[in-house]
Amino acid sequence: MKKNILCIGAGYVGGPTMAVMADRCPECRIRVADLNAARIRAWQSGEPPIYEPGLKEIVARTLNRNLFFTADADAAIEEAEIIFVSVNTPTKTFGEGAGRAADLQYWEKTARQIKAHARTPKIVVEKSTVPVRTAEAMEYILNAGGGVRFEVLSNPEFLAEGTAIEDLLHPDRVLIGGRDTPEGRAAVAELVELYAHWVPRERILTAGVWSSELSKLAANAFLAQRISSINALSAICETTGADVAEVARAVGMDSRIGPRFLKAGVGFGGSCFKKDLLNLVYLCESNGLPEAAHYWRQVVEMNEYQRRRFVRGMLAHMFNTVVDKRIAVFGFAFKADTGDTRESPAIHICRQLAEERAKLVVHDPKALENARIDLADLGDAVRYEPDPYRAAEGAHAIALLTDWALYRELDYRRIYEAMVKPACIFDGRNALDHGALFEIGFNVYAIGKPPRAH
Ligand code: NAD
Ligand code: UDX
């Protein structure tokens, strides 16, 4: 084996990223370590602990060939020349910066662990999303007290869940930030060579470490801002009779704006957007830029407003009460093609509906187990149903919260027959054929569109 690589953190980023790297770099021996022994056992079994289209096949090709999973990072550190760190960096929930700043305790513990077990120089690659200048702090910790020399690079990950494998195989760009010193440039060149196994060189960008760290926060902030912008417009559409899909189409055809990420809905979820926006807000605040902080905070607030507005709309169209009414929730994952429910809008919407004393029946093809955990404290107010037809039986309304393709293919005539009348559909993702549903007999309420009620 030409190179030994270790990745610490076998989650949504570490697992898929290293599986693709092992597939494309057969001469590298890649180990992925995690504290979570159950997660490691799942990876080792060939049944990945996360659902991601195409992942299982890649793992099947590489597992125990040049891809290995271990619960013992300590033992793997010394052998590796390059160590990727993709541990979680959630929003801090305590102390200074609580609710905004990134909690870097896992990152720092990992740095200290690397320092404790390394006997030869290493390149340490920051794959987790971190605040600007984290690499500097980590390099300081790693190199404190002399001894082995560490070079820290920033290499943020841009994959989106549900399309992770495709994103990793054909990235828009790979970004590598390093220091402008002979050692820094050599480390960057080594990482460039690794990615050049499968990524065209013109798509591998190099930059300063701080620019690289900030670019990751900036890209997520821009994407989230587009969603909040179209969602803000969806509210105006509903009051003026315009159709948000028509508006998005017209706006998106301007080549300066582009058509993607202009889909109005119940708001963005996922483990990244809110966390990274708040991280940016905190960065602005702590650098004495309150106006810039306020600007980005508003993107998060618009997202929360959109969820509340959706539930308020449901109440308004259901005679201002949902007490004891059964509501079928179609989709719980934060987006289609993943079982991940972190920060899913469905969590907040279900909680709000439960507060209104509705009886919820949740369906999701991949996220029911996570839904059960997320809503555990709601007890009997929620039922979890693996069959969408049974979920809708006896319901007054369906709330579609995740745009899984399967919801477009259901037999809505059959569903309508089994529901209480008037039967309502609230399409929180504008995913369904509203004309056809109205014809069947449903009252149809979609985001940013005129209501269709009988
Ligand atoms: P995750 O929670 O799925 O995985 C992180 C893993 O790190 C966990 O399994 C945890 O047990 C492990 N871990 C923590 N400390 C450890 C230690 N000292 N030793 C060994 N293992 C340790 O998180 P994720 O979604 O993979 O995200 C990881 C990072 O990547 C975050 O900074 C996130 O912001 C960033 N990111 C995530 C995505 C995404 O789509 N999920 C995309 C781009 C970037
Ligand atoms: C995001 C970034 O896209 C990715 O580059 C980064 O590495 C991690 O964060 P992810 O959160 O996995 O990826 O999924 P994404 O496709 O960005 O969707 C995020 C949320 O926005 C989902 O809840 C999705 O439903 C919502 N969304 C997306 C919209 O509401 N409208 C859109 O037009 C696009």
Cα angle 343, 71, 275 (rounded to 5 degrees) comes to 20
Whether 284 has a pLDDT exceeding 80, the answer reads yes
222/101 same-domain check: no
Nearest atom in ligand 2 to 262's CA: 33
Do 202 and 295 belong together in one domain?
A: no
In this structure, the answer to whether residues 275 and 414 fall within a common structural domain is yes
Q: Are residues 26 and 108 in the same domain?
A: yes
Here the CATH number for the domain that contains residue 430 is 3.40.50.720
* Residue 124: domain span: 3-207
From residue 268, give the alpha-carbon distance in Å to each of 18, 304, 364: 27, 9, 18
Which of 7, 28, 272, 284 is an active site residue? 272
State which of 207, 237, 265 marks the end of a domain: 207
Ligand number nearest to the C-alpha of 333: 2
The amino acid at residue 434 is H
Mean per-residue pLDDT for 90-108?
A: 92
247-282 residue pLDDT tens: 999 999 999 999 999 999 999 999 999 999 999 999
Pocket mutation for ligand 1, best pick of 41, 87, 334, 344 (most atoms within 8 Å of C-beta): 87
CB atoms within 10 A of CB 263: 20
Q: Which whole-number Å values give the CA distances from 434 to 240, 337, 429, in the listed order?
A: 19, 23, 12
Q: 117 and 180: one domain?
A: yes
Pairwise CA distance, residues 193 & 401, whole Å:
42
- Where a domain ends, among 207, 237, 263? 207
Q: What is the pLDDT of residue 146?
A: 86
Residue 311 and residue 371 in one domain: yes
pLDDT at 400: 98
Q: What is the CA radius of gyration of the chain?
A: 24
- Region 416-423: mean pLDDT is 98
Residue pair 120/78 in contact (Cβ under 8 Å)? The answer is yes
Cα separation, 111 vs 254, whole angstroms: 46
Residues 193 and 248 grouped into a single domain: no
CA of 271 to the centre of ligand 1 (A): 10
Mean pLDDT of 385-408: 98
The predicted pLDDT at position 407 comes to 98
Q: Where are the beta strands (DSSP E) in 231-358?
A: 326-330
Q: Give yes or no: residues 30 and 177 share one domain.
A: yes
Cα distance between residue 338 and residue 53, in whole Å: 8
Distance 160 CA to ligand 2 centre (A): 7
| Nearest atom (ligand 2) to Cα of 162 | 12
Q: What is the pLDDT of residues 303-352, one digit of tens each?
A: 999 999 999 999 999 999 999 999 999 999 999 999 999 999 999 999 99
Per-residue model confidence (pLDDT) at position 1: 66
- For the segment 218-249, what is each residue's pLDDT rounded down to a tens digit? 999 999 999 999 999 999 999 999 999 999 99
Total count of residues recorded for the chain = 454
| Residue-averaged pLDDT of the chain | 97
User: How far are the Cα atoms of 39, 263, 316, 337 from residue 430, in angstroms, in the given order?
Assistant: 35, 8, 19, 17
Domain end point (choices 207, 223, 248): 207
Q: Is the pLDDT of residue 84 over 70?
A: yes
Split into its structural domains, the chain has a count of 2
Which position has the token pair 């320092």?
Answer: 115
Q: How far is CA 94 from CA 101, 167, 318, in A?
A: 10, 34, 40
Q: Answer yes or no: is the C-beta of 219 below 6 A from any ligand 1 atom.
A: no
Element (H, E) at 221: helix 209-240
Overall average pLDDT of the 132-137 stretch: 88
> Average pLDDT in the 388-395 region?
98
Question: Which residues neighbour 136 within 8 Å (Cβ) at sequence distance 6 or greater?
Answer: 209, 210
Within this chain, do residues 189 and 233 fall inside the same structural domain, yes or no? no
C-alpha distances (whole Å) from 191 to each of 81, 104, 124, 186, 204 are 11, 24, 10, 9, 10
Upper half-sphere CA count for residue 218 (Cβ side, 13 Å):
7
272 is catalytic: yes
46: part of which helix (H) or strand (E)?
none
Q: What pLDDT shows up at residue 133?
A: 86
Say yes or no: 43 and 125 in one domain: yes
Pocket probe mutation, ligand 2, options 212, 273, 342, max atoms within 8 Å of Cβ: 273
Contact call for residues 74 and 117 (beta carbons, < 8 A): yes
Q: Give the pLDDT mean for 380-389.
A: 97
SS3 assignment for 352-376: HHHHCCCEEEEECCCCHHHHHHHCH
Among 7, 20, 31, 34, say which to mutate for ligand 1: greatest number of ligand atoms within 8 Å of CB.
34
Ligand 2 binding pocket includes 429 (Cβ within 6 Å): no
Please, which pLDDT band fits residue 2 given cuts at 50, 70 and 90? confident
452 secondary structure, DSSP code: B
Both tokens assigned to 158 = 């841009």
Pick the residue whose CA is nearest to atom 22 on ligand 2.
Answer: 268
Residue 69 to residue 76: CA distance in whole angstroms: 10
Distance (Å, rounded) from C-alpha 12 to C-alpha 48? 10
Residues 97 and 216 in one domain: no
187 and 73, same domain (yes or no): yes
How far apart CA 374 and CA 371 sit, in angstroms, is 5
Classify residue 408 by its DSSP letter.
G
Q: Please tell me the predicted confidence (pLDDT) of residue 132.
A: 87
Residue 18, pLDDT above cutoff 80: yes
Q: Are 407 and 337 in contact (CB under 8 A)?
A: no
